[in-house]
């Protein structure tokens, strides 16, 4: 098995202590990005169409497992743009700015 090179992404930086040591935990990054998109008046990455398609895929897997057959999906959606390095850095910078205002 060939190891992949490390990707220098802001969300790959360890920021929380766990029982096995420091680990990266940015679970709310998507929610923060969505809130920021709403305030900026731009489309967010977690659309209703994406959520509906995710549910369609999950229930499709259950139906396929129960029937032992392939199941056609009933929905499609546009794949959202990835939260790239610059977007992630911007999101973290805005968070730091908001935290500084609270002090």
Q: Whole-prediction pTM value? A: 0.66
User: Domain coordinates of the chain in residue numbers?
Assistant: 10-44, 47-79
The rounded distance, in Å, linking the Cα atoms of 22 and 99 is 22
Q: What is the dihedral of CA 11, 17, 22, 24, to 10 degrees?
A: -20
> What tens digit of pLDDT does each residue of 48-100 get?
999 999 999 999 999 999 999 999 999 999 999 888 899 999 888 887 776 56
Give the pLDDT score at 3.
Answer: 86
């Amino acid at each position: 098995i060939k190891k992949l090179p490390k990707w220098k992404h802001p969300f790959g930086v360890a920021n929380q202590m766990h029982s096995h040591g420091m680990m990266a935990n940015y679970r709310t990054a998507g929610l923060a990005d969505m809130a920021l998109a709403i305030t900026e008046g731009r489309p967010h990455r977690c659309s209703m169409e994406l959520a509906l398609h995710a549910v369609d895929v999950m229930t499709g897997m259950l139906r396929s497992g129960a029937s032992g057959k392939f199941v056609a999906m009933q929905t499609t959606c546009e794949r959202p743009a990835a939260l790239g390095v610059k977007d992630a850095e911007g999101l973290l910078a805005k968070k730091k700015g908001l935290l500084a205002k609270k002090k």
